[in-house]
Amino acid sequence: MSFSDEFSLLLRARYPVIYIPTREEERVEATIAQCAKQQGDRAVYIWDFVDGYQGNPNDAGFGKRNPLQALEFVEKLPASAPAIFVLRDFHRFLEDVSISRKLRNLARSLKSQPKNLVLLSPNLSIPDDLSEVLTVLEFPLPNPMEIKAEIERLLSATGQRLAAKALDDLVRSCQGLSTERIRRVLARAIALHGELQPEDVDLILEEKRQTIRQTQILDFYPATENISDIGGLDNLKEWLLLRGGSFSERARQYGLPHPRGLLLVGIQGTGKSLTAKAIAHHWHLPLLRLDVGRLFAGLVGESESRTRQMIQLSEALAPCILWIDEIDKAFSGLDSRGDAGTSSRVFGTFITWLAEKTSPVFVVATANNIQSLPAEMLRKGRFDEIFFVGLPAQEERRAIFAVHLTRLRPHNLKQYDLDRLAYETPDFSGAEIEQTLTEAMHLGFSQNRDFTTDDVLEAASQIVPLARTAKEQIEFLQEWAAAGKARLASKHSRLSDRIQRQLQQPE
């Protein structure tokens, strides 16, 4: 049921006091006016603390700086006169005993009258004594069709046409913004270029970053990495490229559901976090990073409230990528924590949302220690797929060296022996290869020359890879993946070669 339908139903059912938490005053008031017209052309009276009642010349300014008088005005009109009274920012006065008592008195009398009070507020704040009086009605952000109509209105005003795909990308990027913010960022794009362009998606993402800055739970993480910046992981990259258009309106019309997310399990430094950033950049979606530790607060019930706030904020900014790094550390040892069950309740809320969400929030969770993850997290339905990201094979190490050296020395790439570097660095992860190149650069810089292949090999000989220092943990992860409990991210990883050899062995 749409907001208009539900609001009209509450009017007909004579719900006396309706509370609408929204920051889009202009848009919700226009919708209320439209519903009032459909309900027999009801009168609409709008009040705020500074100007009092507005619109009707006879009552202009009544109740100015007097919220109690604003409520008394409702009783001045004839009982049979249908009307809607919209009170802006009225949440600030609900703690006042006179306001609270007056609202409860009005709630009794308005049940038999065609009158409704509508409280508008940017926040949801209801005192306990009014919880039975107020009916909360959520006002959704503009849907794709409304956003498309707004963009097309601007395009027609500027005499411009956009390709269907570019228009679809702009609509998708604007989802999660209010109408006012959409108009503002599109006006900024037109002022910058003289017209709307496909590249204006970046401006829209910056506008979403402004929304994220208002919370301390999520971080808006800038994503500039490309899929091509990931060395190896061919299976994972193919899976991601195949779903690149799955957030479009065309995919909805085709019948495709929104992709749910990925769980990337594997050894530290193998590109799991890089993958999350590359997905956001390639799909032109905002990347939100969740530090699960921020969900846990000292006050009773606050952790659960923060979890719900995180979910609401993610869905408001959808479509987006929600990146949860090292989720195993956040939810390990739930049964043994002495926090009166707070961790279990937060975890329960989170995995229930993972299983039931229909919003286009693509969750990318990474984990290093699969043993510490609760079994419920690995159940089918939480994520679209679980990928194992293992140590790169020789061919993949060559690709990783090529990616980094192309960035560091794009004009001298041919002077490096990539095959030799890949061969001489067994057991090295992608992060360790990057650190090796940094050490080699220090060697060259200290001698006032460019670094060479021999410098890289010298640096590699000084590094002890994690594959040796955490041998038991890595072997367990490899055995777990080899048992078919996760999909391999790489076609040519050491583990995939090992599995292939096992399959070829005679029984």
pLDDT value of residue 47 = 96
Pairing between β-strand 115-121 and β-strand 17-21 as defined by DSSP bridges: parallel
Separation of alpha carbons 172 and 451, rounded Å: 45
**How would residue 97 be classed by pLDDT, with cut points 50, 70 and 90?**
very high
Interval 345-389: pLDDT, tens = 888 888 888 888 888 899 999 988 887 788 888 887 789 999 988
pLDDT at 251 over 90: no
Is 228 in contact with 215 (CB distance < 8 Å)? no
**Structural tokens at position 96:** 């006042």
| pTM flag (> 0.85) | no
In this prediction, residues 301-322 reach a mean pLDDT of 78
Q: What is residue 322's predicted lDDT score, i.e. its pLDDT? A: 92
Q: What is the pLDDT of residue 339?
A: 54
Which domains are delineated in the chain? 3-136 (3.40.50.300), 144-212 (no CATH), 221-389 (3.40.50.300), 394-426+430-464 (1.10.8)
At residue 134, the pLDDT reads 93
For the segment 46-62, what is each residue's pLDDT rounded down to a tens digit? Answer: 999 999 998 777 788 89
Among 121, 171, 164, CA closest to 146: 171
The pLDDT assigned to 195 comes to 85
Which residue reads 């707070």 in tokens?
342
**d(Cα 265, Cα 263) in Å, to the nearest integer?**
6
Give the pLDDT confidence of 148-199 residue by residue, as tens digits. 999 998 888 888 888 888 888 888 788 778 888 888 888 888 888 888 888 8
- pLDDT per position as a tens digit, 470-500: 888 888 888 888 888 888 888 765 554 444 4
> DSSP string of 360-417?
SEEEEEEES-GGGS-GGGGSTTSSSEEEEE----HHHHHHHHHHHHHHH-TTSGGGS-
